[in-house]
Amino acid sequence: MSANAAGTKKKVGSILKRVGLYVLLIAGALLFTLPFLWMLSTSLKPEIEVFRFPPQWIPRPPKWSNYVEALTILPFDLFFRNTLTITVNNVIGNLVSCSLVAFGFARLESRFSNVLFILLLSTMMVPYQVTIIPMFVLFHRLGWVDTFKPLMVPPWLGYPFFIFILRQFFMTIPLELDDAARIDGCSTWRIYWNIILPLAKPALTTVAVLGFLGNWNDFMGPLIYISSQEKYTLAIGLTLFRGQYMSNIAYLMAASVATVMPVIIIFFFAQRYFIEGMTLTGLKG
């Protein structure tokens, strides 16, 4: 009886710990979701109800016309195309350049590979604010200011954090696969293209999602290099909207919801690979 009682007590304790963990996770999820829910609720309210206290979370009736009016007051379709063009280019550039560099660090032997990799990681210690002025001067002398080039060319030259993620994942792939492929006559390029990349889908998805998030929400880059309104991105377009139509918070919230929805959709469909990639990139150093 004592053994059964001890086992039951242990089982109950385990269940209570799991319930407590789930309660904390749900509370944390609600805490982080609350601002988005408030933004969504405000986007469907008439202007007169935005500052009502206590707030009404479910508008009755919801004013869906806020979205149509908010997205037509300014050329958000043009801002969307600009943002999509920059983001797609940069994601592809990050995947190509970073995977090639990471493959070299992870699979190709060299006396100086570790030194170069440490040097690469050290560039992550330099704050972005330190390089803003030198990069602006460089792009100005190249005649790239007020074009998309300062935003679209650098991703094709690699990004240290993404190189680190991919290199760590590549090192978890057994080297025996490379040896077997070389015995079968595969070149280094074919090993990279036919063996490493197909096995690295989780890490590549992680890089793609992080790159998409960073470029879609980028504010500083377009603010510094773009001055023509027809070249504005969504992030800059929202600030322009707020400056001209600050009196109508509902319109601003509607435009913000429309801007953030692609990010939510992308993460929803890629979350399985994203979580797997983030988990596995730290297994081997």
Residues 65-280: name the CATH superfamily. Answer: MetI-like (1.10.3720.10)
- Distance separating alpha carbons of residues 77 and 217, to the nearest angstrom: 16
pLDDT at 223: 93
Per-residue pLDDT reduced to its tens digit, 68-125: 988 888 888 999 999 999 999 999 999 999 999 999 999 988 888 889 999 999 998 8
Rounded to an integer, the average pLDDT of 190-204 is: 91
User: Smallest Cα–Cα separation from 199: which of 228, 223, 175?
Assistant: 175
Rounded to an integer, the average pLDDT of 134-154 is: 95
**Using an 8 Å Cβ cutoff, are 90 and 152 in contact?**
yes
For the chain, the structural domain boundaries read: 2-43, 65-280
When the pLDDT of each residue in the chain is averaged and rounded to a whole number, the result is: 86
Per-residue pLDDT reduced to its tens digit, 22-50: 999 999 888 888 888 888 888 888 877 77
Q: Is pLDDT above 80 for 222?
A: yes
Q: Is pLDDT above 80 for 275?
A: no
Whole-model pTM? 0.84
Per-residue pLDDT reduced to its tens digit, 169-191: 999 899 899 889 998 888 999 99
